[in-house]
Structure 1
Amino acid sequence: MLTLCVHFQDNPIEIYERASTIFRVESELLHIWDFSGQTTLLLMNDRTKSANDYLSRSDEILLELQVYGLTDSMKGRGGKKDDQMVGQTKMEGSFVSGSLKMNGSTGNFDSYFTLPHTKLFGRGYREAGFLGLTGLHNIGNTCFMNSAIQCLVHTPKLVDYFLGDYRKEINYENPLGMNGELALAFGDLLRKLWAPGATPVAPRMFKLKLSSFAPQFSGYNQHDSQEFLAFLLDGLHEDLNRVKCKPYIEAGDPDGRPDEEVADEYWRNHLARNDSIIVNLCQGQFRSMLVCPVCKKVSVTFDPFMYLSLPLPSTTMRTMTVTVLSTDGTTLPYPCTVTVPKCGRLKDLIQALSIACSLRNDERLLVAEIYNNCIIRYLEEPSDSLALIRDGDRLVAYRLSEDSKDCDTSSLVVFMHERVEKHDINGKAELCRKMFGIPLVVRMSECSNGCDIHKQFLKLLDPFFMPTEDSLDDITAGNAANEDTEMEDAISSTVSNGDANSDSETGDELQLGNNFSFYLTDEKGSTKGSNINMNKLELISQLPRRLNVLVHWPYRMIEKYDTCLLSLLPEICKPELFAKRPQESVSLYKCLEAFLKEEPLGPEDMWNCPCCKKHRQASKKLDLWRLPEILVIHLKRFSYSRFWKNKLETFIDFPIDDLDLSTYIAQKNSHLSNHYKLYAICNHYGGMGSGHYTAFVRHGGNQWYEFDDSRVSPIGEDEIKTSAAYVLFYQRIPDTCLT
């Protein structure tokens, strides 16, 4: 016999019909009566009495349900016995006894059942367990589906709903739905998992229905459990939407009205079009604020949400390495690594660099991107998104003095470097010019001449000078002279032989001897213009805002200065493919704060400002306004970029018994509790290419169980916090239950 513990204030007729539906038995085999002895009332399959014929009680009364010939009556719609009732199919005339506490007001299920002695096993057999502890067979990479389903089929009130007469709410007319087929398939699967004595179920029919409406889940490939969950919740909502004809409602102008009034209007408009058990349990409301960076126009909307997708700290912040150079010849270039918001702007990077390199008040940073030993672009717009800077880019930051009175009219001189290299090709010496090193920058006034340019360049090279001991000076000079002679001979020979790889500029190189030679050039250093004569005070009239100078390095100067330091230029972020990083530990509250933090929209999500009448890269701020009874939190462990796909193994320390969101709710007049209790976790183990999903579920009070496809086993509460946690399921704690 099975015992139901229910509120006696519920209609007994409804209790009888619900019990018949749950245990899938024929009416003549079912008897219900008072088991506690607290009343003299007897319910012997008497369906003629109304609720007024029974005593009115507010407490729980234990009723006994006895089912004879249990297994023969548990048949599917096709007349075949369900495959999960293995071990009961030959139990003619026997019955299952136990208890089931089914509280319709809370949706909680606690049950215990036993199978009596039978001849089926050839010996005395006794099996005990809780209803609902039934696994799902993996029918081919379906662990992503199994884990999410187990979390849903153990969701309070959702279980009670699908064990009841949910079919009367199926919306067959909804063009956004699936003709009720998805809801029917899910309801049938849930009932199988909650049937007494069930063995692992193969969800073939459910997957077939799912694939017919969502081809992305067809076949036997692995999929993302959260993506499946999002589709399933949305599909169940549309199949069970109580609104048959969705009205068109235009939101009023929110300007000048209190947020509470506007939010309630948005929510009423949403419920006028969307009303289902999924909305009632799982949907909350955001407050979304957009601010125009130009006119400061503020736009406020209130949008529904089904779950929260929280970024992990590793995805909200970005580590960037930039090479810092002085423009006064005082320090060597050095790499500076800073952490900035991943969706931040250039001003965030400059601010972080200014702090890291102890920038003086009379200095500012000029950030530029280097490619092929020249500056290909200057990053000067503070509102530019950092998302435009890739990990493989190479950035430099020049420390420019702002103390000069004529800094606005002065010119920025950019020195690029060139040298002659000798290559042996088929035994023949070939000479070619090649650019190298990081461009050096200095600010100069309009009255500068060639001699001043020479002096400024030598000043910039001071940190790179390599002093030698007196005893080695002569030897070094002699060796350098010999090598210079060899190089000059090779160049001279090349010129005299009319080598196609040399030109008249090589002759100039010989005439200038061992000194630097300077040429006007373009931004890429690809053209060599007029020579800047160092011996004459030749004024350079009308200096442009930026003057590009190509400096030719003779061999002797290359030996004199440390050009290796001049060429060190790390990437923004070098991926560590094989390095094992220490495990990070972050609070779930930190993830929520990162999610709610104000950030600029991406370049692809520009906002059309109604005041400016232009697309702007506005700032966006999200706030939690209305929380659902069932709060689903998705941890964004999978990150994608243009070149890399990665899974973050960050350990998230999430609350189990009391997730307190009181400080994160923007609506302060809400009378609902903001405290939540964890009841299920969807886990992902492995990496991007392969992995496995399981579920942890709180069942039967405070006992946790692991659902690993068809295997179900108890697990300690101290074992459920792992770096594999992917989707968290929380249930609201009523204020009356808080201590």
Structure 2
Amino acid sequence: MDLANRVDRARQWESVIASVESTPLEPGNWWFLISAGWLRSWQSYCQDLTGAAPPPGGITTDNLIHPLSSKLGFAQTRDGLVVDEDYVVVPEEAWNLLTSWYGLSEGSLAISRPVAVNGESAFIDVNLPSVKFRIGNGTMRRLCFPRGYTVGQLKRIFITKEEAEKREERLMFGEENNEICVTSFTGEEDISVTSFTGDEDISGAPFNSKDKIEQSPLFTVYYNEGRKSLDNDAVLVSDTHLLNSDAYLVVDAAPEMLQCDAEDVKQSLIKLNDTSGLSGLRNLGNTCFMNSALQCLSNCEPLTSFFLHGHHVSQINRSNPIGTGGALAEAYGALVKDIWQGNGCCGNVADPSRFKHILGRFEHRFMGYHQQDSQELLSALLDRLHEDVNRIVHKPYIELQDSDGRPDCEIAKESWTNHKLRNDSVVVDNFHGQFRSSVVCPNCGYNSVTFDPFLFVSLPLPNASLSTLEVTFVRHDHAIQMRIPVDRVHAKIDNLLDSIGEATGISVSQLVPVEIYDHSPYKVYRKDYPLSRINQPSDDIKVYVAESDFPVWITFKLEAGGGYTLPVAFPLLLSMEKDEEIVPAIRSLVAGIIKTALPNIDLSTIDWDKLARIDEDRSLGIDCLYSGYIVVFSRTYCRDELGVDLGTVFENLEPEVGPPVSQPKAVSLQDCLDLFTMEERLSADELWYCKRCKDHQQASKKMDLWRLPNVLVIHLKRFSYSRLWGEKVSTRVDYPINGLDLRSNLPSGEHPVYDLFAVSNHHGGLGGGHYTALAKNFVNGQWFNFDDSYVSKVDASTLQSKDTQRSAYLLFYIRRDDTNNR
């Protein structure tokens, strides 16, 4: 289009807008919602003098429409939309101009809103009330209606004009077992109804046989509490049951009765039933981490509905250089259909091979068949899916602005707008939120505030560094295996000794912590030695009791022939008096060990010179602190003359198993959130550059949640790593299944409430383990356990068992519809 036509269209638009702005709002008029991003693109296109700006294409509203919105009636908008940031409202005349020029893009609908009156003030009623419904057992959808709409008007949205004209319709409600059934009938007289449910044959009782009844009901409305009777004239917005978040309509009608615009909903009736979504996933070899993440994501209704209904096909951005050209979106869409169109628990197992192959092509870390992390896979998958269906084709360059003391709301809105200018997809619509980060300089007090988007909320666990260190406590010739809870990140050897001293009643000054290597003392630990440098299970740690000022190391070995010896036990620490002779003391120690193992032996018959020789141990280094001796037993003498098996004798030196470490109490999810938002001081290795001081400072930093998404994925940081070791944190986390209220964590003033719909679990330790998933099927509302190809129904109480609280790794929450006031 040439520049003159573009300028002419822009002038016509401005003329219409100016005319409307000069006149008051009139009840009965209609306004329309348009994507603010599309309008900005069109205005840039009209003002571009170089001709380089691309044409805007059809008007887009699909990014404003709720993924579960019906195509019937009045489209429901997404939660949390902000005027001028996400959408603009234009008068009907302006809408007609734009649609005559450009039409609607594929997947977009006209979003009309009436002018309503509140007292003496007229306003555009953008946030219409809505009701949930589904056809049969199909996908749950949402339907908006203007305030003042009646039950009769709502019903007429669903059926064809011909069907409405040929029958006189009324709605009748009866109640039993907390269920309400609405039926339609034709009759020449009023019909009295006692009570019935949607499962009954309504052609029989409680109706009189003379009554003319339609054979199938049109609607069924379920609600959880109270009694309510409505007729055609009942105003929907005044009915608390229909507006309750737990209420929904079920449309039960012959397909020919329904409007053709409901074709996608009618198809969902055919595709989805109570076993839909219950297909297992084949393990391709250590791919349980992938299967767990996929099953959780599969039960995310907004995203799954998006792919099941094929909306991704029209939104694939094949020119995005950081996407996959649509390959991953297409592979994931095909896998979702396999999962939801299979035979469910009856044995259907979907094969994710092609999906994994496509993912591995673009994310090379997932090419092989090694065990990996479900959170890392989910992050990579959602990032790639976002870029594949990103509605932004040409990402603009955006220069970031400093906060400079501006109000948080202003900075947050600006940051979110900038984010949406480059990122706009079904993933952003549902999974992206916003953090507030504040860094304060300790020198000048300068406060730098930034707002950043997030996909996950990764929460640290209180006492996550608290783990168990295995040590052997040795006193005389008696040993006990102990598992001591320690802070492996911050604690030192003296903290370990304090715990052992408290458990045994031994003075810490008498405890000698030693690393044993090849059955010999290797080094005595200094009291300030950090526990983070101990690498278990390879490091053998023993703590001895030195009951004198002259302890001596005693190592036991057995002649093996050819001048070689073999160790037969771990070393002991022999407490000596100052002038005591070493050989008699060692023989006394050995005699006690033998007598304990063989109580009937006559020690006077032993030839001590033949039994063993005693050599000074010259291999001990300076780190061992004390001198040592080696007792080398004669295999021949022990076997042929004493008839003694030294292995049996020294079995008594094997450590006893000490009492188990008490399991720590469960922490709450709120504890984890509080720890996440706690102010911290940056370490000396993380200095922050203060632009006011012009120097690096050890500043304090605080993170807050600011804007929360529709689908909140919480990542519990169960895996901790240091330079030498890694460990899984199995702390029990008590998380709510329903009613996660985050108002106390949001300085933005939001009041969101979330319900859990999936959990990715990791069972076992850091070195391997196994992933499973627990997920709530959004069609039948039941919880299921997904263990690769095996799927089984579970009770909701399983989610609060101690085992699940220890293994829960990713928590998937969905925002309640009645709290979407972002």
TM-score range, shorter chain: 0.5 to 0.7
Partner of 1:417: 554
1:630 is displaced (CA, Å) by 2.1
Distance 1:172 1:375, change over 3 A: same
Asked if structure 2 preserves the Cα contact closer than 8 Å seen for 1:178 and 1:235, the reply is: yes
- Residue deviations 1:63-96, cap 9 Å, x none? 524589xxxxxxxxxxxxxxxxxxxxxxxxxxx9
Partner of 2:754: 676
Q: Matched residues in 2 for 1:343 and 1:333: separation?
A: 27
Partner of 1:523: 620
1:599 is displaced (CA, Å) by 14
Q: Which 10-residue stretch deviates more, 234-243 or 306-315?
A: 306-315
Matched, 1:484 2:562: no
Question: What letter matches 1:352 in structure 2?
Answer: S
Asked if structure 2 preserves the Cα contact closer than 8 Å seen for 1:178 and 1:239, the reply is: yes
Aligned length: 575
Tell me the SS of whatever aligns to 2:754: strand
Asked if structure 2 preserves the Cα contact closer than 8 Å seen for 1:630 and 1:732, the reply is: yes
Q: How does 1:309-320 map to 2 (within 5 A)?
A: 317-320=466-469
- Residue deviations 1:244-263, cap 9 Å, x none? 44648689799x99999999
Question: What letter matches 2:740 in structure 1?
Answer: L
Q: Which 10-residue stretch deviates more, 544-553 or 669-678?
A: 544-553
Matched, 1:278 2:427: yes
Asked if structure 1 preserves the Cα contact closer than 8 Å seen for 2:403 and 2:448, the reply is: no
Q: Matched residues in 2 for 1:545 and 1:571: separation?
A: 29
Matched, 1:376 2:509: no
1:390 is displaced (CA, Å) by 0.8
Question: What letter matches 1:523 in structure 2?
Answer: L
Among 560, 573, 577, the alignment partner of 1:440 is: 573
1:365 is displaced (CA, Å) by 4.9
Matched, 1:64 2:188: no
Among 487, 505, 517, the alignment partner of 1:341 is: 487
Distance 1:548 1:223, change over 3 A: closer
Asked if structure 2 preserves the Cα contact closer than 8 Å seen for 1:673 and 1:732, the reply is: no
Sequence identity of aligned pairs in percent? Answer: 26
Matched, 1:730 2:813: yes
Tell me the SS of whatever aligns to 2:782: strand
Among 493, 500, 503, the alignment partner of 1:356 is: 503
Q: Matched residues in 2 for 1:66 and 1:225: separation?
A: 45
- Gaps in structure 2 of 5+ consecutive residues: 1-29, 35-57, 76-98, 101-108, 117-124, 130-144, 162-215, 222-236, 238-242, 257-267, 441-446, 643-647, 690-697
Q: Matched residues in 2 for 1:9 and 1:594: separation?
A: 44
Partner of 2:740: 659
Among 541, 550, 554, the alignment partner of 1:395 is: 541
Asked if structure 2 preserves the Cα contact closer than 8 Å seen for 1:588 and 1:654, the reply is: yes
Tell me the SS of whatever aligns to 1:731: strand
Q: Matched residues in 1 for 2:817 and 2:529: separation?
A: 45
- Residue deviations 1:446-505, cap 9 Å, x none? xxxxx9364699899999884999xx999946313xx236559xxxxxxxxxxxxxxxxx
- Gaps in structure 1 of 5+ consecutive residues: 1-7, 35-46, 69-95, 119-126, 292-297, 405-411, 444-450, 489-508, 510-515, 525-543, 575-580, 612-617
TM-score, normalisation: structure 2: 0.49
1:161 is displaced (CA, Å) by 6.6
1:300 is displaced (CA, Å) by 11
Partner of 1:592: 672
Tell me the SS of whatever aligns to 2:157: strand
Asked if structure 2 preserves the Cα contact closer than 8 Å seen for 1:236 and 1:278, the reply is: yes
Q: Matched residues in 2 for 1:680 and 1:474: separation?
A: 65
Among 697, 702, 705, the alignment partner of 2:777 is: 697
Asked if structure 1 preserves the Cα contact closer than 8 Å seen for 2:752 and 2:815, the reply is: yes
- Residue deviations 1:500-559, cap 9 Å, x none? xxxxxxxxx7xxxxxx77x473425xxxxxxxxxxxxxxxxxxx8975423355989x99
Asked if structure 2 preserves the Cα contact closer than 8 Å seen for 1:318 and 1:339, the reply is: yes
1:208 is displaced (CA, Å) by 6.8
Q: Matched residues in 2 for 1:242 and 1:732: separation?
A: 24
1:658 is displaced (CA, Å) by 1.9
Q: Matched residues in 1 for 2:569 and 2:794: separation?
A: 62
Say what the alpha-carbon RMSD is for the aligned residues.
7.3
Q: Matched residues in 2 for 1:302 and 1:350: separation?
A: 46
- Residue deviations 1:247-298, cap 9 Å, x none? 48689799x999999999988887776555434532456689999xxxxxx9
Asked if structure 2 preserves the Cα contact closer than 8 Å seen for 1:111 and 1:131, the reply is: no
Distance 1:383 1:267, change over 3 A: farther
Asked if structure 1 preserves the Cα contact closer than 8 Å seen for 2:279 and 2:339, the reply is: no
Distance 1:67 1:437, change over 3 A: same
Structure with more contact order per residue of length (Cα contacts < 8 Å, sep ≥ 6): 1
Q: How does 1:704-723 map to 2 (within 5 A)?
A: 704=782, 706=784, 717-718=796-797, 721=800, 723=803
Q: Matched residues in 2 for 1:416 and 1:597: separation?
A: 51
Asked if structure 2 preserves the Cα contact closer than 8 Å seen for 1:336 and 1:357, the reply is: no
Partner of 1:81: none
Q: How does 1:14-413 map to 2 (within 5 A)?
A: 58-59=128-129, 60=145, 61=149, 62=154, 64-65=157-158, 112-114=250-252, 116=254, 134-135=276-277, 140-141=282-283, 148=293, 151-152=296-297, 155=300, 158=303, 171-183=317-329, 210=359, 212-214=361-363, 226-241=375-390, 244-245=394-395, 247=397, 276-284=425-433, 305-308=454-457, 317-324=466-473, 334-347=480-493, 348-358=495-505, 360=507, 363=509, 365-380=511-526, 382=528, 384-386=530-532, 388-398=534-544
TM-score, normalisation: structure 1: 0.53
Q: Matched residues in 2 for 1:140 and 1:463: separation?
A: 61
Asked if structure 2 preserves the Cα contact closer than 8 Å seen for 1:32 and 1:66, the reply is: no
Asked if structure 1 preserves the Cα contact closer than 8 Å seen for 2:535 and 2:725, the reply is: no
